[in-house]
Chains A and B, each alone.
Chain A
Amino acid sequence: MSQAELCSGSRESLVIHGANSVCGPPPAPWWWTNAAISVFLAMASAFVFASPRARHLRRRFLSFVLVVSLPGLAAALFFRADGFGRRRETSRRIASLETSMHAFALAHGCAVVTKNDCLACEPIARFATAHAGTCTSRASIELGRTALDGTCAEIGSTLRCGAP
């Protein structure tokens, strides 16, 4: 899984990388384009801020370069799994998994994750089973690869989420 999957809307990449960047590092050609735009903008800023004649242009310059933020804003608001149109489905699945694990942990006093094939589920499980002190309960949680789809089944003192 790569960070670039953030903007294709994967729930896993959202949980793992969602706050590290908007869409992750750009692929090679875009990297060079970004670098060129940034160097140009840095040189233009240096000129506008250093030149006494361009002093009156500072506000206009900044208002103009703000346009560069628009694609990122659009990506953050629309393209990710937490963007408009997708976030209801994303939160429904994550909430379902968290609710199942939390209810199970409460019912048994506490619970521990004994098997985890779902990296993105790790922090969710930590939140759902948060408790003070050492957990002495025999209740266990097993998280399969597809646990983030949010379906869990209780079998005895074990909660199994997702396909193994």
Chain B
Amino acid sequence: MSLVGRPLVGLLAILLAGSSIDVVFRLLPRRLLARWPLRAVFGLAALYVAAALPWFGVGLALVGAVLRVHAHRRASPQVHLPGPPRTGAPSAARAPRIDRGAVRLAAAIVAAIAVVVSWRTWLPLYWDEFVWLAKARIEADHPFGLVGEVLHANTSAIPVGYPPLEPLSVAALAGWSSDRTTLVAGTVLLQIVIASSFVLLAVDRTRPDERRSLALGMALGTAPLVLLHLRSAYVDLETGLLAGTLLLLLELGLGRAAALVAIVLVGMKDEGTVHLVAVTSAVVFLSLLRRKPSSARNAFAAAVTGLVPFALWHERLARAGIVRTDHALGGLAYGRLPTLGRMAFAHAIELLSWGPLWAVVVGMIVAAALRPRAFGRSAQLRLFVVVAQVVVFAFGLLATNGRVMEFAQGGTLVGRLLVELAPVVMLAVTAAT
């Protein structure tokens, strides 16, 4: 009973919180296929601010209420659902009802994701799975106690100072049961929620006649190593999927939903902030260049909404006297660049882990640099976001202390960063084919 019942209660609680936010602030249009998994993501945002940054949550709710009243007085915002298919069939944006074929497709996608994710050993197997689930176990034993624990100087919840949302989410989705198998069930639910949000939103954003391209992009991006991460408690793929979800929401013009996803992104992992900066700055830059001020505004608002909890969390760490060693910033060490470049190359050509993914991506970027007009606007934006992610990550790696280079040399860094890039790469490939 515990294996099914507790996670079900946890999922319903998260969905209830997220649905309340959606209903009160009217964040998502009804016909969005990704509505339900996105509501669960909003529930995770609520969990994070409730557990770690309650005053930020109160402030955000007030700002949301003001925006809601303001929006009520004006015409409802436009949602940029995909235009008509090239065959000339009716537009999804104008369609009065949800396309039944799309609903069947969505159900099949979620079922497929659920099968792949849950078809794993119901036991942590890899190093960081144990580490993340150890924190989740502490949270499960002491509901809403993990944040206090990680802000404690002599904590056993190590490594110290990491954003706590992943273990909080796993414990909540496990119904706060500290049983090993139930915690894995929490992990499985979290992966299903985040992966479904991303994939269904990608379907929402894709014209029916482009779904073959989407399937190809997904197949290419689901490289063997990505598949292993999908079936694990690692946070790298989740972070990348959330970055992809953020990009898709910004493309769809759903700025306030994007802002909530930004909170989840920075709450999951430090790298989430890197993705947030890369995605939003790329969108702001290209939107201004294309004279689309509303898109730039949405991206800027999402960046600010994500960066405030990031800053507040670090302020809490500083006040608690927690010294972060893993990702501490220092000066830019340009001397690392050749070593990092060699490592990135060695990982990217590892065909057993990646298949042809990175070779194709490099080829696409070269082609886009040589002939930008060979790509549509969406493909240009997505490729630009991929490049922005790589550049911001490179600066991040040059600016962090020597500990990060130890991780890189131990083989635990570059491959995982590539896993984080894979979801946006899937979107770029989809738009380019």
Instruction: List chain A positions with a Cβ less than 8 A from chain B.
Output: 3, 7, 14-26, 31, 34-35, 37-52, 55, 58-59, 62-63, 65-66, 68-73, 75-76, 82, 87, 90-91, 94-95, 98-99, 102, 123-124, 126-127, 129-135
Smallest CB gap from A88: residue in B? B121
- Residues from chain B with a CB closer than 8 A to the CB of A16 are 127
Contact call A132/B123, Cβ cutoff below 8 A: no
Bitwise interface map of B from 395 to 418 toward A, beta carbon under 8 Å scored 1, else 0: 000000000000000011001100
Contact call A38/B353, Cβ cutoff below 8 A: no
User: Which residues, 209 to 240 on B, are CB-close (under 8 Å) to A?
Assistant: 212-213, 216, 219-220, 223-225, 227-229, 232, 234
Q: A50-B367, A69-B224 are in contact. Are A19 and B232 (CB under 8 A)?
A: yes
Query: Distance in Å from the Cβ of B335 to the closest Cβ of chain A?
Result: 23
Query: Distance in Å from the Cβ of B123 to the closest Cβ of chain A?
Result: 5
Contact call B374/A52, Cβ cutoff below 8 A: yes
Q: A45-B364, A73-B227, A127-B133 are in contact. Are A66 and B374 (CB under 8 A)?
A: no
Please pick, from A20, A65, A87, A131, the residue contacting B356 in the complex, using a CB distance under 8 A.
Answer: A65
- Residues from chain A with a CB closer than 8 A to the CB of B212 are 59
| Between-chain CB contacts (< 8 Å), 10 pairs | A20-B416, A42-B363, A48-B363, A65-B360, A70-B355, A72-B223, A72-B353, A123-B134, A130-B156, A133-B156
Contact call B352/A131, Cβ cutoff below 8 A: no
How far, in angstroms, from A20 to B417 measured CA to CA in the complex? Answer: 10
Q: Does B48 contact A (CB under 8 A)?
A: no
Q: A19-B232, A49-B432, A62-B433 are in contact. Are A41 and B363 (CB under 8 A)?
A: yes
User: Which residues, 363 to 381 on B, are CB-close (under 8 Å) to A?
Assistant: 363-364, 366-368, 370-371, 374-375
Contact call B225/A59, Cβ cutoff below 8 A: no
- Residues from chain A with a CB closer than 8 A to the CB of B227 are 73, 76
User: Which residues, 108 to 127 on B, are CB-close (under 8 Å) to A?
Assistant: 121, 123-127
How far, in angstroms, from A161 to B349 measured CA to CA in the complex? Answer: 40
- Residues from chain B with a CB closer than 8 A to the CB of A69 are 220, 223-224, 355-356
- Residues from chain B with a CB closer than 8 A to the CB of A59 are 212-213, 216, 433
Query: Distance in Å from the Cβ of A13 to the closest Cβ of chain B?
Result: 11
- Residues from chain A with a CB closer than 8 A to the CB of B145 are 132
Q: Does B354 contact A (CB under 8 A)?
A: yes
- Residues from chain A with a CB closer than 8 A to the CB of B353 are 21-23, 72
Q: A49-B432, A50-B370, A66-B219 are in contact. Are A20 and B415 (CB under 8 A)?
A: yes
Smallest CB gap from B121: residue in A? A91
Query: Distance in Å from the Cβ of B268 to the closest Cβ of chain A?
Result: 16
Q: Is the interface of B mostly helix, strand, loop or mixed?
A: helix
Bitwise interface map of B from 141 to 156 toward A, beta carbon under 8 Å scored 1, else 0: 1100100010010101
Please pick, from A19, A26, A38, A76, the residue contacting B358 in the complex, using a CB distance under 8 A.
Answer: A38
Contact call A126/B359, Cβ cutoff below 8 A: no
How far, in angstroms, from A92 to B227 measured CA to CA in the complex? Answer: 23
- Residues from chain B with a CB closer than 8 A to the CB of A45 are 359-364, 366-367
Q: Does B315 contact A (CB under 8 A)?
A: no
How far, in angstroms, from A126 to B131 measured CA to CA in the complex? Answer: 7
Smallest CB gap from B429: residue in A? A62
Q: Does B130 contact A (CB under 8 A)?
A: yes
Contact call A50/B366, Cβ cutoff below 8 A: yes
8 A-B pairs closest in CB distance: A45-B363, A69-B355, A72-B224, A123-B130, A41-B359, A50-B367, A49-B367, A130-B134
Contact call A22/B433, Cβ cutoff below 8 A: no
- Residues from chain A with a CB closer than 8 A to the CB of B134 are 123, 126-127, 130
How far, in angstroms, from A49 to B327 measured CA to CA in the complex? Answer: 38
Contact call A63/B216, Cβ cutoff below 8 A: yes
Contact call B125/A21, Cβ cutoff below 8 A: no
Contact call B223/A42, Cβ cutoff below 8 A: no
Contact call A124/B351, Cβ cutoff below 8 A: no
Contact call B219/A19, Cβ cutoff below 8 A: no
Query: Distance in Å from the Cβ of A127 to the closest Cβ of chain B?
Result: 4
Contact call B234/A19, Cβ cutoff below 8 A: yes
Q: Does B346 contact A (CB under 8 A)?
A: yes
